[in-house]
Amino acid sequence: MFFSVGKQNLYPYSEWLILQMIFELQQTNEIIEKISKEEYVLKALGIFQPKKQRKDFFTIKSILEKRYLFLKKNGYQHNEQVKILESNIQQLSQFFCLSHLESAILRVSVYTAIDSILKAVSDMVSIKYDRRIGCDALAHLLRVKGKDIVRSLKEESSLCRFQLISYTGSRLSFGGDLTSLTEWDNLFDIHSLDSELVNFDHWLVKCVHRPHIVSELALDKDFAHISEMTKGLLHYLSYVNETKKKGSNILIYGAAGTGKSEFATLLVQQLNMSAYFVNTANENGEHISAGLRLNNLCLAQHMMNGHRNVIIFDEVEDVFQDSALQHSLGQSHKGWINESLEHNSVPVIWISNNVRDMDVAFIRRFDVVLEMPDLPLDNKRKLIQRMAPEQLPTEDINHLAKQKEITPAMLQRSFAVAKVMCPHNDYYSQYVYDLLNQTLKARGEREIIPLAATRDEHICAYSLDWIACDTNLRKLTDGLRQRPKARICCYGPPGTGKTAWAKWLGEQLNMPVLVKRASDLLDHYVGKTEQNIARVFEQARHSKSILVLDEVDGFLYHRETATHQWERTMVNEMLTQLERFDGVFVASTNLMGDIDAAALRRFDIKLKFNYLKPEQVLAIAQQQLLLWQWPELEGGQVSRLQAIKGLTPGDFAAAARQHIFSPFESVDEWFGALEQESALKKVEPKKAIGFI
């Protein structure tokens, strides 16, 4: 059989590793059999034969064995080709403070990553090796003990901490899972390690960046609602900087666009420290994976140690968020993540939109966990006034401030774009609403009704003078301004202004109003209604909103009349939440007599809303005539109007809406509509809401 032996087309170290794998790992015949089928591997090893000739297993083995014995006796010599490569491996080892053994493992990883022949042969070897045997095999190749390899590949080792080496699952392969250096291709081209020296000076800018956009928010103004926490965080970061405390981590989470990133940046700037954000995209604008972002964080920690810096890791869901189909990166590298959280040398502020799916084991390791609330109504109004151009009217500013779905980030973008799209005043507000609604629609959220569409010139505006209540509502409002904590039950006939008064109260107290009805909370699955009740109270507590629960008799009816156990637990859950709630809670009902006695005792104030008094009926009618530009009522007309019993503000609003699409031709026709609205109140008592 004709073979020719020529010059090896391999790095000397690669050739030595391949020959070791063949003759020292007890798979000689099996590996040679595989190699003999790969012409390109044989050529790289210096073995040539005519293409049509059958490959002779024993001849190939003999040639390789002679070469192995020669290198084993005389050793291999680096040639000029590997000078730069070996220099880079040495520089990487020094930069990451690797031990002698860690550096040797890195050398195996680098050569395997850049040498396709070594990679191919190592894959042939790895098939039969699990993790333990793989570590023993690597130890044999490097002439060290197996336990030393295991120690060098633990998650807290420098190799794994900097993600230079990683292996997962039950199998360790020399050329597969073992090498993760290709994950560093944003810092250097691994395939140029043998031709170009690594430039460490440019690494930091590829890992992190300084914020380049000036925030519209101010720490003392826009975050005054969390001023105590702000002071605490400033003291804590200052302490960490002075004492060089390791393992300092802060988690800030909350709805998207609530100013979490701006808040973190402003905290750092307040202390005259430098804030650096971990990059989410490379210099070509391509998304950086969660694993690579963690690598960049770890590397930035190493490079920035000893300076007045804080690293901000935004969009942390990429790392910690589990899904139904797979574990998060954090779960896959739990030990390494925990090690990083406990020993990071530069403080890190982690930012997330939610932490529902984050493992509590991770949450426990954060020094401070802060839920970022939405801006209070007055803060949001002032922020909009600062951000909005002069084209936006004051009433639109107030209207936008009440929309909980709109975040400061959305407002800032919409104002800027609308100013370019519509430089004149004519349609500026409409452009703002359109831009905001397109964003909300894309996010699957409720769109905003423009103020012009909500303002109906044919219906009287709300006035406290038209509310027939046996309590001085203005005095009550003054008291709530001083102490915004109360549980109020508003009862009376429908249309008397109970829910409208709660919304008016929110404006007076400068608090957002969260209105829920029984139908919003009831669920036919056992236990879900109770969860919904607890969730809405938590939502109101978090947003510091006035919680308004309409049709509360559907929840708080007499427990003695309950026929199912879930009905009792529903009432009990409502009472428990009501007892614990420390904000302003307003319940409205048309059926006061149906409410459980224990629930009534929990209300601090019970406000009875009644039908309009004759003088109130006349006042609201005169205001309505003024809007329609009709003449004032004459004597007989006044008598007829005041003779209608049981009129409410809701009746006047319903008749006014009817007038919009079916205009009244006379006062008598209008009075007829009011009489019909009044007559409709005589209905059967409402039954408790529930499911069979």
| pLDDT of res. 648 | 92
Residues facing residue 351 across a β-bridge:
252
286 token code pair: 């391509």
pLDDT of residue 447: 83
Helix (H) / strand (E) containing 588: strand 584-589
Sign of the torsion formed by the C-alpha atoms of 317, 321, 324 and 328: positive
Query: Residue 103 has what pLDDT?
Result: 92
Cα–Cα distance measured from residue 491 to residue 583, given in angstroms and rounded to the nearest whole number = 20
Give strand pairing partners of 370: 252
Contact 492, 590 (CB under 8 A): yes
- Give the per-residue pLDDT at 170: 39
pLDDT value at residue 686: 44
> What does the DSSP assignment read for 266-287?
HHHHHTT-EEEEEPSB-TTSPB
What pLDDT, on a 0 to 100 scale, did the predictor assign at position 8? 59
Exposure on the CB side of residue 465, measured as CA atoms within 13 A: 12
The residues near 156 (Cβ < 8 Å, ≥ 6 apart) are: 335, 336, 339
**Positions in the chain short of pLDDT 70:** 1-8, 49-55, 126-131, 155, 163, 166-188, 212-215, 306, 321-336, 424-426, 451-459, 554-568, 682-692
- Check if the beta carbon of residue 205 is closer than 8 Å to that of residue 134: no
Q: How far apart are CA 154 and CA 159, in angstroms?
A: 8
